[in-house]
Amino acid sequence: MREILAMVGKDLRVLARDPMGFFFTFIFPLVFAVFFGTMFSGSGRETRGLQIALVDEDRSAESKALAAQLDTVPELSLQAMDRAQAREAVRLGKRVAYVVIPAGFGESRRRMFTGKGPELEIGLDPSRKAEGGMIQGVLARYLSEQMQTLFARPEKMQTQVRQDLAAIDTSREVPAAQRAPLHRFLGELDRFLSERQADTTTADSGRAGTGWSPVNFKTTEVARLRNGPRNAYEVSFPQGVLWAILNGAFGFAMGLVNERTRGTLVRLRMAPVSRGKILAAKAGAALLSILIVATIVLGLGAIFFGVRPGSVPLLALAVISAAAALVGIMMVISVSGTSPRGVSGLGWAVMMAMSMTGGGMIPLFAMPPWMQSRQHGEPGALGRHRARRRDLARLLSGADGATVWNSAGSRSGDVRVRDADDEVDASGVGMRVRAANAA
Amino acid sequence: MRRKIGVAPQALAIYEELTAEENLRFFGSLNGLEGRALGERVKWALDFVGLTPRARDRAMTYSGGMKRRLNLAVAVVHDPPLLLLDEPTVGVDPQSRNAIFENILALKREGRTVLYTTHYMEEAERLCDRVGIMDHGKLLALDTVPRLIDAHGGTTALVLERDGSETRVETSDPIAELSRLMRDGGLPRFRLEQPDLEGVFLNLTGRSLRD
């Protein structure tokens, strides 16, 4: 064991003394992750889900309040436009949809019981019904929250009820037969709100704003896009780790060949150390360097870039498994080649083939079914396995081999939704996430 | 068994990214040295090859001769009784070459067995007690240098200079030949060419070029 540790230490020291090797082993994965993460995040902040154009044709206090509130919704990323611009943006695919707050929205909000009720218009590509459903759900949720706020604050609700009471007799929207019952209902509601207001200001002022609400919501995990990467860094950082794994495994193969060509392997073989120990030490050094880089990259990602692994143990398992498997493959390659060029060529050829068939370069959905199932057995594809799918898929979304190149298509916005089975396919990276849809 | 063997391959089998001290520590530890013993042997090896002043410089900054000396130091750091040195003076400057000769002779005086491979016959004559001549993987002769010369070196040549031209006379008794020349009318300028190990090598392996 002492000999193995000595050889591991030597290999790591040699690596640390090689500026180029050090850069590509320890620095480049981080640069890669930050660069592509930032590039796909636009300004560098977190991506905000569906890109929506918002058209405010009402320009009332209510419409502005709704716009401001929707701007805080994490599932949506809003940009204000006029109707023509919004339509064009959707047509060109720059925005998933547009939402129009029509003229009269504020008035209808103020006359909750005497008008047609507020109406929003959603403009959407017909092929993106799933996103449309999601947008409707989000809007309904936030409008309900506004309603709940009104009921939770009796003085505001009372103001609105009294406006409606005053408008009952003059409103064309209210049939004559319904005016008397509506007077009675709103009168009772006005009295109820007066009592509520008295209660909240005297007895329990610390709990004002809670209590009665028009509807109770039961929160259930719904298929949200955030089941995939929550931001671009959650794609780029795992790919940075993949780079580290590939580079470490490849470096291991080249290291063994270099030992042979520069003659130090003769010395190692002449020393009282078995071949197995020599190989174990080389593999151990590669594995250790990979784990060090992976820890640094993911640690910095978690601290500074909001990368949150679903499960740290599974993450560790996936990294170790993928690294061990690739180092093993590279070990075979390194002993089968006699020159650095030969091993380099063979190594890249194998990794490219694995990337092509493992989902790293070709999206899974584009593969024939037998390849889709077969690729799960590949070392690099380990991370995409569906055991706790979301965690591992998020971790190693780019899979094996040349996902480095693939990352250009791996932006979180490339997510494709199949509304039939709620299967989300981040098509650019060959990642599949089956989201649990309680609905 | 392997711990009793020290090897200096013809290729520079050292890690150029590491310092001389780190190289020696690494190979010493692979050969079972540790702790204080390792430190002492590393220090000895550095002194032995004259690299102590540059012990903490990376090998990549060394001259060819210094690398060769480090190559030798790595072979002896674990104090092996048997040394296999494969052309240890290839491509080095005369000073380093001489230093390596001195090192090898010192190792020899300490009682170590040195198996020295070389194409330079003067190195073999200077360093070796017994010389084996090998060709195409076959051992053609093995003996002390004088015996090899006696057996395979050929005769001594007397080269005479008269009127600007040289005459080569091969003889087994040059003294008798010179006496005869004096009796016959005067002794011209002459020089004696004695057989050497290179002659032995060429006589045994032939003069045709090797692949």
Instruction: Give pLDDT, residue B62.
Output: 92
Q: Which residues of A touch B22 (CB under 8 A)?
A: 10, 13
> What is the pLDDT confidence band of residue A305, given thresholds at 50, 70 and 90?
confident
Higher-scoring residue by pLDDT: A154, A386: A154
Instruction: Give pLDDT, residue A407.
Output: 32
Q: Phi/psi at A114 (nearest 5 deg)? A: -120, 0
> What is the pLDDT confidence band of residue A114, given thresholds at 50, 70 and 90?
low
> What is the pLDDT confidence band of residue A201, given thresholds at 50, 70 and 90?
low
Higher-scoring residue by pLDDT: B106, A379: B106
Looking at the DSSP assignment, which residues form a beta bridge with residue A79?
A53
- Least confident interval from A100-104, A411-415, B85-89: A411-415
A209: left (phi over 0), alpha (psi -120 to 50) or beta: left
Does some domain include residue B147? Answer: no
B136: left (phi over 0), alpha (psi -120 to 50) or beta: left
The tally of domains found in chain B comes to 2
Residue A149 predicted with pLDDT over 90:
no
Does some domain include residue B144? Answer: no
Cα gap A379→A401, rounded to integer Å: 10
Indicate if B79 and B25 belong to the same structural domain: yes
Instruction: Give pLDDT, residue A139.
Output: 78
Whether B146 and chain A come into contact, CB under 8 Å, resolves to: no
Interchain pair A10, B15: CB under 8 A? yes
Residue A434 predicted with pLDDT over 80:
no
Residue at A257: amino acid letter: V
Please name the residue ranges forming H helices in chain B: 20-30, 35-48, 64-76, 94-109, 121-127, 145-152, 174-183, 197-205
Look up the CATH number of the domain holding residue B75.
3.40.50.300
Q: Which residues of B touch A266 (CB under 8 A)?
A: 7, 9, 11, 13
Instruction: Give pLDDT, residue A310.
Output: 78
Indicate if B24 and B99 belong to the same structural domain: yes
Does some domain include residue B133? Answer: no
Indicate if B6 and B106 belong to the same structural domain: yes
Indicate if B98 and B159 belong to the same structural domain: no
Those residues with Cβ within 8 angstroms of residue A297's Cβ, 6 or more apart along the chain or in another chain: A29, A30, A33, A237, A240, A241, A244
Does some domain include residue B126? Answer: no
> What is the pLDDT confidence band of residue A220, given thresholds at 50, 70 and 90?
very low
pLDDT mean for each 10 residues of chain B (211 residues): 86 90 93 90 91 92 90 91 89 85 89 90 89 91 90 85 84 84 81 86 81 66
CA-based torsion, A38, A43, A45, A47: positive or negative: negative
Residue A274 predicted with pLDDT over 60:
yes
Indicate if B93 and B14 belong to the same structural domain: yes
Please name the residue ranges forming H helices in A271-339: 275-304, 312-336
Higher-scoring residue by pLDDT: B123, A133: B123
Instruction: Give pLDDT, residue B144.
Output: 92
CA-based torsion, B132, B135, B136, B139: positive or negative: negative
Indicate if B9 and B76 belong to the same structural domain: yes
Distance from CA of A262 to the nearest CA of B (A): 6
Residue A226 predicted with pLDDT over 50:
no
* Residue in A3, A266, A273 closest to B7 by CB: A266
Instruction: Give pLDDT, residue A359.
Output: 60
Domain ranges, residue B60: 2-117
Residue A428 predicted with pLDDT over 50:
no
> What is the pLDDT confidence band of residue A403, given thresholds at 50, 70 and 90?
very low
Indicate if B113 and B158 belong to the same structural domain: no
Instruction: Give pLDDT, residue A429.
Output: 33
* Residue in A17, A18, A270 closest to B2 by CB: A270
> What is the pLDDT confidence band of residue A42, given thresholds at 50, 70 and 90?
low
The encoded tokens of residue A195 equal 């009592």
The encoded tokens of residue B25 equal 């520590």
Indicate if B25 and B104 belong to the same structural domain: yes
Instruction: Give pLDDT, residue B26.
Output: 93
Cα gap A384→A358, rounded to integer Å: 10
Indicate if B38 and B86 belong to the same structural domain: yes
**H or E segment to which residue A357 belongs:** helix A340-358
Higher-scoring residue by pLDDT: B110, A136: B110
Residue A48 predicted with pLDDT over 50:
yes
Q: Which residues of A touch B74 (CB under 8 A)?
A: 267
Residue A223 predicted with pLDDT over 60:
no
Residue A269 predicted with pLDDT over 80:
yes
Does some domain include residue B71? Answer: yes
pLDDT in tens, A277-289: 888 888 888 888 8
Does some domain include residue B132? Answer: no
- pLDDT (average), residues A241-246: 82
Indicate if B82 and B167 belong to the same structural domain: no
> What is the pLDDT confidence band of residue A424, given thresholds at 50, 70 and 90?
very low
pLDDT in tens, A77-93: 888 999 889 888 888 87
Q: Model-level pTM?
A: 0.58
Residue A394 predicted with pLDDT over 70:
no
* Residue in A13, A18, A263 closest to B22 by CB: A13
Higher-scoring residue by pLDDT: A352, B7: B7
Whether A266 and chain B come into contact, CB under 8 Å, resolves to: yes
Does some domain include residue B187? Answer: yes
Cα gap A232→A32, rounded to integer Å: 12
Higher-scoring residue by pLDDT: A378, B82: B82
Determine the residue among B15, B67, B117 to mutate to test chain A binding: the one whose Cβ has the most chain A Cβ atoms within 10 Å: B15
Residue A157 predicted with pLDDT over 60:
yes
Instruction: Give pLDDT, residue A88.
Output: 86
Q: Which residues of B touch A6 (CB under 8 A)?
A: 26, 29-30
Does some domain include residue B40? Answer: yes
Mark which of B100, B117, B134 sits at the end of a domain. Answer: B117
- pLDDT (average), residues A194-222: 49
B185: left (phi over 0), alpha (psi -120 to 50) or beta: left
Indicate if B105 and B23 belong to the same structural domain: yes
Q: Which residues of B touch A14 (CB under 8 A)?
A: 15, 17-18
> What is the pLDDT confidence band of residue A411, given thresholds at 50, 70 and 90?
very low
Indicate if B81 and B166 belong to the same structural domain: no
